[in-house]
């Protein structure tokens, strides 16, 4: 136990000074040596996540010997055996995850103290100089050992005042990502309301004479957290700092990319810095049009089948028509074909689509794309319920040709994804999700020219968690965005539109815009681009404001 480092840490806190540390997740003890040589106040070795074994943890602890850098070990859970082992190999204290009650905190403190105050067993390991300093170590360990609970669930929020009264609780740490997940915002660092809740808990702790900290996300956040009154600030994780530096260097040579969860570089996406403004060649001559669900022109296609057009000639769109088709129970569109591709996404009910006799049965959020000139039949097989689908055609106005050809009926398997070179089917439940396009957002690519060579349009499904949004961007083509569930905010050059209930925006080529979920529930959209690939040009967010409108 590094008594000198522990005393220095507490001295700084007592003087209301901020301490800085590094979160260790990788095996090499050289990382801790880096931190010690640079004079950081503390290091946390993470034994909850990652692959560190006890030998590697011990090497990290040894790397800080004879220094003023305190080393804590984050154990995997509150467990007497894990706490004893971490302290026996020389840790100055432990970090305990997921502490939710004052009783759990008291248990964690007992795990780390020798009797009679606790239940830590006396071992002849490194902490006691392999049994040579039993009396000396046990005489001072209870007084100096540091136990830091992590507040990372919303159940713990109400218990914070009680935790502050626990004898021996000095410093608390916050886990924003897990707090967000427990509040229903999984995958977000600070979901809606989480940042405010952390600040409120911090104020409660500070009024009770306690100290608190968290990991910071960068230099600006580090300064902001210090000004907010946090006193135990993580500069970052070893992996995070290394990746941040790698991204910066790759950006400098135009090779930066966003990785895929598969770790396969072929699945990654290239990223680039936002442009200060859109290219002048994209200067738009049309404005966006938002059509509320139920307010678009309705066309009767056949008995029992109607289409409400949401993006079409009346919105001055180019090369695209989208809308909601309603099929009454048992209704059908007879065999026909289009001189352009058609995409169908089921919203409610079920649909049966026969393409040259190949029969596909689709449920909610399943999609089928039928290339130009392929004969097909669309029907609602349910005799009692209405089916609603989102339809998109790569032309405006759309055309169709009725046919009377006969095809042999072939029932396609329930998991069929279509025929290569012909129609393509995307099953919602098994579809590949893409993340990283924007914070709190996930996407499914239904169709594009890469998935279906020669296709004239591209599109898919998007889900935005609360707080999720896209960066400000422009396209070199028109687009249709239909909000099929939840509420979205569409921002176009400072003009804000609240959308729900199949409201659809036609954003013309060149208009700076983005979509955001400012609500407390998830939001789903169907997006269709009048271009063969879902390409976008990210621009400075100021361009999406009224003051920063680049086309004024």
**Who's near 267: CB < 8 A, 6+ residues apart?**
260
State the residue for tokens 């596909």.
Answer: 360
Token pair for 493:
């050059």
State the residue for tokens 């302290």.
Answer: 87
| CA-wise closest residue to 177 among 199, 148, 150 | 150
Give, as one character, the DSSP assignment of residue 272: -
Q: Looking at 63-158, which runs of residues are DSSP E strands?
A: 70-74, 93-96, 146-151
* DSSP output for 169-212: --EEEE-HHHHHHHTT-TT-SS-TTHHHHHHHHHHHHHHTT-EE
* DSSP output for 455-470: -S-EEEEEEE-TT-BP
Contact predicate 379/336, CB 8 Å: no
Rounded distance, CA 380 to CA 352, Å?
A: 6
Provide the β-strand partners of residue 177.
Answer: none
Give, as one character, the DSSP assignment of residue 282: G
The end-to-end CA distance of the chain, in Å, is: 65
Burial 131-159 (b: 16+ CB within 10 A, else e): eeeeeebeeebbeebbbbbbbbbbebbeb
Rounded distance, CA 340 to CA 370, Å?
A: 9
Sign of the alpha-carbon dihedral angle for 427, 516, 222, 225: negative
Is position 247 annotated as part of the catalytic site? Answer: no
Rounded distance, CA 297 to CA 312, Å?
A: 9
Question: Cβ–Cβ contacts within 10 Å for residue 173, how many?
Answer: 24
**Who's near 378: CB < 8 A, 6+ residues apart?**
325, 327, 332, 333, 344, 351, 352, 353, 389
Burial 81-118 (b: 16+ CB within 10 A, else e): ebbbbbbbbbbbbbbbbbbbebebbebbbbbbbbeeeb
| CA-wise closest residue to 391 among 454, 307, 463, 331 | 307
Strand, coil or helix: 442: strand
Give, as one character, the DSSP assignment of residue 314: G
Strand 358-362 and strand 410-411: pairing?
Answer: parallel
Rounded distance, CA 342 to CA 332, Å?
A: 16
Q: Looking at 40-119, which runs of residues are DSSP E strands?
A: 42-46, 70-74, 93-96
Q: Which of 49, 60, 211, 247 is catalytic?
A: 49
Question: Cβ–Cβ contacts within 10 Å for residue 397, how many?
Answer: 11
Q: Which residues are catalytic?
A: 49
């Amino acid at each position: 136990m590094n008594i000198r480092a522990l005393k220095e840490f507490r001295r700084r806190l007592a003087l209301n000074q901020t301490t800085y540390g590094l979160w260790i997740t990788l095996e090499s003890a050289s990382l801790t040596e880096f931190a010690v040589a640079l004079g950081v106040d503390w290091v946390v070795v993470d034994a909850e996540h990652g692959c560190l074994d006890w030998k590697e943890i011990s090497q990290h602890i040894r790397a800080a010997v004879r220094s003023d850098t305190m080393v804590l070990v984050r154990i995997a859970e509150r467990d007497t055996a894990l706490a004893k082992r971490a302290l026996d190999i020389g840790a100055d204290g432990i970090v305990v995850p997921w502490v939710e009650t004052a009783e759990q905190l008291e248990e964690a403190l007992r795990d780390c103290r020798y009797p009679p105050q606790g239940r830590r067993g006396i071992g002849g390991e490194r902490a006691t100089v392999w049994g040579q300093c039993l009396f000396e170590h046990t005489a001072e360990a209870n007084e100096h050992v540091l136990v830091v609970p992590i507040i990372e669930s919303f159940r713990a929020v109400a218990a914070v005042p009680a935790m502050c009264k626990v004898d021996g609780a000095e410093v608390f740490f916050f886990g924003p990502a897990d707090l967000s997940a427990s509040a229903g915002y999984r995958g977000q660092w600070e979901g809606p309301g989480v940042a405010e809740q952390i600040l409120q808990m911090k104020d409660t702790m500070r009024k009770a004479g306690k100290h608190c900290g968290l990991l910071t996300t960068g230099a600006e956040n580090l300064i902001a957290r210090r000004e907010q009154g946090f006193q135990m600030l993580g500069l970052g994780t070893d992996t995070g700092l290394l990746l941040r530096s790698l991204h910066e260097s790759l950006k400098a040579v135009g090779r930066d990319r966003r990785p895929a969860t598969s770790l396969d570089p072929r699945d990654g996406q290239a990223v680039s810095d936002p442009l200060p403004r859109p290219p002048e060649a994209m200067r738009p001559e049309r404005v966006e049009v938002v059509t509320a669900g139920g307010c678009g022109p309705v066309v009767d296609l056949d008995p029992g089948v109607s289409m409400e057009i949401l993006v079409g000639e009346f919105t001055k769109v180019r090369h695209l028509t989208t809308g909601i088709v309603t099929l009454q129970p048992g209704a059908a569109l007879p065999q026909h074909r289009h001189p352009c591709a058609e995409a169908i996404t089921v919203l409610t009910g079920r649909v049966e689509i026969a393409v040259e006799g190949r029969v596909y049965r689709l449920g909610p959020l399943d999609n089928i794309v039928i290339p130009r000139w392929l004969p097909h039949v669309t029907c609602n097989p349910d005799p009692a319920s209405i089916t609603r689908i989102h339809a998109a055609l790569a032309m405006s106005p759309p055309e169709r040709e009725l046919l009377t050809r006969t095809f042999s009926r072939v029932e396609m398997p329930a998991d069929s994804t279509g025929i290569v070179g012909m129609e393509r089917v995307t099953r919602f439940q098994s579809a590949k999700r893409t993340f990283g396009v924007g914070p709190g957002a996930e996407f499914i690519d239904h169709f594009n020219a890469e998935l279906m060579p020669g296709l004239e349009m591209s599109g898919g499904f998007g889900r935005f968690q609360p707080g999720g949004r896209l960066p400000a961007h422009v396209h070199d083509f028109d687009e249709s965005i239909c909000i099929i569930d939840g509420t979205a905010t569409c921002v176009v050059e400072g003009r804000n539109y609240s959308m729900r209930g199949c409201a659809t925006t036609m954003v013309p080529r060149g208009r700076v815009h983005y979509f955001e979920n400012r609500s407390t529930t998830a939001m789903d959209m169907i997006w269709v681009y009048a271009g063969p690939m879902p390409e976008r040009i990210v621009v400075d967010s100021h361009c999406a404001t009224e003051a920063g409108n680049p086309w004024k």
